[in-house]
Amino acid sequence: MMLPGWFLELIPVSGLTLRCPVPHRSVEDALVTRACPVPEPVAGAAPRRLLHHLVPSSQTRPLPQHPPTLQLRLVEEQPKNIDPLVLDLVNTKIVERGPPVQWTDIAGQVSVKATIEEELVWPILRPGAYTGAGRPPRTILLFGPRGTGKTLLSRCISTQLGSTLLKLSGTTLLSTWKAEAEKILQTVFFVASCRQPAVVLITEAESMLLARAGEDVSSLKSQLLSYLDNISTSSEQNVVIIGTTSRPGSMDEASHRRFAKRFYISPPDSIARRQILHHALAQQSCCLSEREMSSLVQHTESFTGSELVQLCQHAGATTLHGLQGQLQPTSYQDLEKAFCKVRPAASQKELDLFLEWDKLYGTRH
């Protein structure tokens, strides 16, 4: 006798997903790796739509390469406590469909990138080779000034893992979507569980993990802490949670210690600043002398990557000369003028506080 509402999902390396009815519940113990609710009917659905049932196949990220084995999953119909409207919001606003990001796309942060690759990415992709090293960290906190590339690094991690990326802003959740905040957070992790491997990126995470959270935030905070605990300890969840914050000091110790690894993403050093400036100015047909470039690198100490790009953009905006509106190459003088409009947002005192917090709670690398 068939078990209503349950199907066996077969995923060969070719990427084609097949489903057949499960004859009895005992298959769960013998064959199933995880249970995954499916929001669309199976009957009459095309195989390509079945592959990633929560997002159309034309918009999904490339699938990671796996050995030629067959994955078996037990699939149930969508749970009743998942709101279809919230599910649609998560799929359209939170599931990311941007281009892949490689390590080489991130200037600087050499030590941090190497540590994340060695301690998180490789063990997850090659679990058999790291059996004696313990379970790789599944929760990471990236902290540092705004514009240093925390989100870009998170996208890169997701690309390396070949995972679905769900990006949720803590401040947006508590303002624009405040009325449905708990439902949205629940649905985000529901989708992540169905779309494993997955990375859940929570930007401005401190807004949900404040040391003195008000009554309206405390329940959401408890919910997020529960997910952090579950992801950290579960051997069945192939989900990584990445939190980013520019205010790590506003989080209580119990909250930030839920993240197994905590990395300081600092403003770029001189080598990274040169790379960022060279790339940004190359798009404006700007060719500085070596002396001018060295001077520019020296005068942009404490600038974040985002601020360096803004500096070049402001300089480029002043190169429209003449009655014909002819665009001239950006000069060093244009860049000097742009310094009046673009300055580092973080003061030296604030940068010192980041270094102090890193010494107390940061992960050594």
- What would the pLDDT profile of 217-272 be if each residue is shown by its tens digit? 788 999 999 999 999 988 778 999 999 999 999 999 999 999 999 999 999 999 99
Residue labelled with tokens 């947002």 = 345
**Cβ pair 158, 132 in contact under 8 A:** no
101-139 burial by CB neighbour count: b if 16+ within 10 A, else e?
bebeebbbbeebbebbbebbbbbbbeeeebeeeeebbbb
Residue 142: per-residue pLDDT: 98
Residue 132: per-residue pLDDT: 59
**Cβ pair 272, 244 in contact under 8 A:** no
Residue 166: which of 96, 98, 84, 223 has the closest Cα? 96
Residue 171: per-residue pLDDT: 92
Residue labelled with tokens 């669309």 = 40
More confident residue, 183 or 10: 183
Residue 85: exposure state from Cβ atoms within 10 A (0-12, 13-18, ≥19): exposed
Residue 217: per-residue pLDDT: 79
The domains of the chain, with CATH numbers, are: 84-266+354-361 (3.40.50.300), 270-342 (1.10.8.60)
**297 to each of 5, 220, 229, 266, 268, how far by Cα in Å?**
62, 43, 43, 16, 10
* pLDDT band at 24; cut points 50, 70, 90: very low
